[in-house]
Amino acid sequence: MRKLVRPPIAADFEEKTKSTKAAVAKAVANRGDVSFSNLWSDYKRDFSQAQLGRCGYCEGQVLGLQYGDVEHIQPKAEVHTLEDKPEDWGREVPWSSSVAGRKRKNSVIKPGYWWRAYSWDNYLLSCQICNQQWKTNFYPVAGVHVVCPTQTCRPLLLSPFDDHFEAQIHFTYGRLGEIRALTDEGKATIATCGLDRPSLRLARYKIARATHEHLDEIARDVTERDVLRVLECIAEDGCETRPYCGMVRVIFFQRTEMQWDDLYDLISCLRESGNADRSLCDC
C-alpha cells in the first residue's frame, strides 16, 4: 500500500445522491428492504486518476488490465467478520484468482454501514481480486461494529487515503515480495484483502529483490559514485508512477530508517559532491 491523496469531491456528487440517500435512510427506519443504486460507479474516473490507475490495497495495475471497482471501504449492505485463526483466512487457489477455505463468523450485521453508501470518503478504486474475492463484505474493527451513524469504532482495515497513514509503520516486505504485518491494523488489512497471496508475491518479487540487492550493495564498501547510481535506481523504482512504489519505499525505510524524501536530499548531495550530471525521474 502507498499513501494516496483523495480526489476532490465531484461538483455534482451531493446533489446526484441526495434523493437516493434519503430513500435508503427511510427504508432502514421502516425496517424494509434496502436497495442501493450504484451511483458511485459514475465517479470511477476520479479515483482512477487520483490512484494512477492502481488498486488502493495491493498497488496492482487496474486501468488497462481490468475493469476495477469503486469499492466501499466500510461495507454498505452487510458486514462479515473473519474467524480469528490465520488458517481460516483462506488461501488462493493455484493458477486461479479464486479463494478457498475462507471462513467467517456467524454474526452478520445487516444492513451494514448503510449511511456510508454515498459518502465520498468511503470510496477507493480497487482491483476485482482484492475486492470481490478477498475483502467482499469483511471489515475488521477493534471491539464491536457500530450499527448506527451516531456510534463510532476503531477500524483495523487501513485506508491509503487516511491522513495519518504511513505504510512503513504497518508493513514490512521481504526479498521474495512477501509482506508481513507490524501492527494489528497491518495484520487485519493483509488478511482482509489477501495482500500476501502467492500471485501477488510473484508480481512484487523482481522489484522487491532488486531493492533489497541495491541496498545490500550500498552496505558494502563501494565508491560514492556507485552509491549515487544505486540510490538513483531505488528512487526510480519508488517513483509514484511505478508499480509497487509503496513497497519500494517501505523497504528503503526498513533497511535505512530514512524517510523517502531524505533519499532525494541524499542524491542531490552526492551529485553536487561528485559533479555528476544525472537526471532522476520526475516523481
- Do 145 and 192 reside in the same domain of the chain? no
- Do 202 and 146 reside in the same domain of the chain? no
Question: Any idea which residue has 449511511 for its cell?
Answer: 115
Whether pLDDT at 279 is above 80: no
Output the pLDDT for position 149.
Answer: 87
Output the pLDDT for position 275.
Answer: 53
**Does residue 214 lie in a domain region?**
yes
Q: Residue 277 — pLDDT band, cuts 50, 70, 90?
A: very low
Output the pLDDT for position 162.
Answer: 96
Output the pLDDT for position 276.
Answer: 43
Enclosing domain of residue 53 = 13-154
Whether pLDDT at 98 is above 80: yes
- Do 148 and 178 reside in the same domain of the chain? no
What's the average model confidence in pLDDT over 178-192?
98
**Does residue 47 lie in a domain region?**
yes
**Does residue 207 lie in a domain region?**
yes
**Does residue 22 lie in a domain region?**
yes
**Do 118 and 39 meet the contact criterion of CB atoms below 8 Å apart?**
yes
Q: Which of 184, 156, 199 is nearest to 58 (CA)?
A: 199
Output the pLDDT for position 283.
Answer: 37
What's the number of domains the chain is made of?
A: 2
Residue 78 in grid coordinates: 452487510
For residue 124, the surrounding DSSP H or E stretch is strand 123-126
What's the average model confidence in pLDDT over 29-51?
95
**Do 45 and 51 meet the contact criterion of CB atoms below 8 Å apart?**
no
What's the pTM value of the predicted model, to 2 decimals? 0.92
Residue 16 in grid coordinates: 446526484
Q: pLDDT: is 222 or 205 the higher one?
A: 205
Whether pLDDT at 169 is above 90: yes
100-146 tens-digit pLDDT: 999 999 888 999 999 999 999 999 999 999 999 999 999 999 988 88
**Do 234 and 252 meet the contact criterion of CB atoms below 8 Å apart?**
yes
**Do 212 and 251 meet the contact criterion of CB atoms below 8 Å apart?**
yes
- Do 180 and 261 reside in the same domain of the chain? yes
